[in-house]
Amino acid sequence: MLSMARRPSGANVTHSSAFLYNWDMMLPHLDLYEAILARRSVRRYDRQPLDEATLERVKGIISTPQPLISDNPFHALLYDVPAGADLAKDLGGYGRIVNPPHYVLPYVLGQEHQLEDAGYRAQQIAVRLASLGIGSCFIGAVRREAEIRALYDLPENARIGAFLVFGHPSVAVGGRVTNQLIRLASGASRKLLASDIFFEEDFDNPAPPPDHIAPLIEAARHAPSAVNAQPWRFLWHNGRLHIFVTRHNGRYGRGLQEEYRFHDGGAAMANITLAMEALDLGGHWEMLKEAEPRIPKHPLGLQPMATLVLDEEG
């Protein structure tokens, strides 16, 4: 469900150390798979809001991401940003986001895997915006969800994960330099290699991905993650692809922010789903629970998340 809304007026939003996913790149109109690999977080935007025709296309994108859990209700509130607002400060991120004209507050209701589902749907939105040449940036909200629910009058069981700001990237030299510096400072330009995150048959065997799933792993490598934690690990076992996330990641720190692993894992799953769409591959995700006997043997430091079952060819 998509709703147009006004930002709460007069709200005193407390600053916190919520995380921002930082990337930079100017994006022309791109095909879907290219958009997955090319999308970067944008910190500095053109001052002009999107035109009405483009906003209509954006509304369509925001309202129709594929669900990870079909029973989980999904809502997206679309806001215009008041001139001169410092969204990073107001919404709880670090640094500054300059001149973003719009932002989305997506949230998921339900009983299971809400954060994974929120990351899964929000990342689809971000990639499809990138395919239109629209820049975006996530502002993490996991540590402040109770405050955000109260501020925006959301249900008590709403899980948010992150806001998404968007607009046309600034073409000024200063804007490009700002994005590059932030990206370098956060480590977002340092992606783990496929050999660091992919294993074949067991976790004692790091290996290059087989050719038929290599584009899927490459797509997952390009997913955003809070503080560039990159918590995902993949195991190809008995003809199925299993995704795990690190239970404790030093980049997240301890406490509530460790729950970013679920949102970030969902974003990696979204990139895989979009890559399958782009490459005309069929399959579906099966979510995992800790005690299921079908989960392959894995280190205690990894938490099972889901299994991708690919359709058989022919």
The domains of the chain, with CATH numbers, are 2-185 (3.40.109.10), 194-310 (3.40.109.30)
d(C-alpha 33, C-alpha 75), whole Å: 26
pLDDT for residue 22 is more than 70: no
pLDDT for residue 14 is more than 50: no
158 within 8 A of 149, measured Cβ to Cβ:
yes
**pLDDT given for residue 148 in this prediction:** 93
CA-based radius of gyration for the chain: 19
Q: How confident is the model at residue 190 (pLDDT cuts 50, 70, 90)?
A: confident
d(C-alpha 151, C-alpha 155), whole Å: 11
Spatial CA neighbour of 234 closest among 267, 187, 202: 202
d(C-alpha 165, C-alpha 303), whole Å: 30
pLDDT for residue 281 is more than 70: yes
**pLDDT given for residue 9 in this prediction:** 47
Strands 302-310 and 240-246: antiparallel
pLDDT for residue 201 is more than 70: yes
Spatial CA neighbour of 260 closest among 227, 233, 217: 227
Residue, of 197 and 254, whose pLDDT is higher: 197
**pLDDT given for residue 183 in this prediction:** 44
Q: How confident is the model at residue 187 (pLDDT cuts 50, 70, 90)?
A: very low
- Tokens in use for 1? 């469900």
- Tokens in use for 182? 């932030």
d(C-alpha 148, C-alpha 106), whole Å: 12
Residue, of 84 and 148, whose pLDDT is higher: 148
